[in-house]
Structure 1
Amino acid sequence: MDMHVYMGYCGWEAFKTLARNYFLINDHPLFPEIQALLSAVEVTPAEVSEMLLRSEDADAALQGVATLLGEKKQAIGEGN
């Protein structure tokens, strides 16, 4: 018997919680861009967490998240 664990996608509220937990921030200039991208692509909380963990600098980590989401959106547009 296969067991499948459902892992939902990361929405805006979940992202804000992750950002607050990792960097103690509630707002950032990249938040509007990230919010728009999250509504357009499917990304797991684990993928977002992995990007946030790549840097202790909030600016760099959030730019990494925005880049990841932008690449996913571009891949959707290209039909991949």
Structure 2
Amino acid sequence: MNTTAKKEVPQIFLNDEKVRQEYPLMGGLDEAGRGPLAGPVVAAAVILPPGLVIDGLKDSKKTTEKSRKKLFWEINKNAVG
């Protein structure tokens, strides 16, 4: 899930065979918190199967609470790490 500070993975990395061979799994990270990093922050990471697309999985800060709850179960069902 992206935040304004993060950038999406460039398409070149998703299609580059050498990168996929060397790094067959890629993780996604999201954080939640207010203020500077020295304040209270919670971060989590997940690895999903290559090629899996979960509708609505993009930016948690732009997702409704109801959608986040649905995504939580979908992510947990499919997570490999």
Higher strand share: 2
TM over 0.5: no
Higher helix share: 1
TM-score by length of 1: 0.33
TM-score by length of 2: 0.33
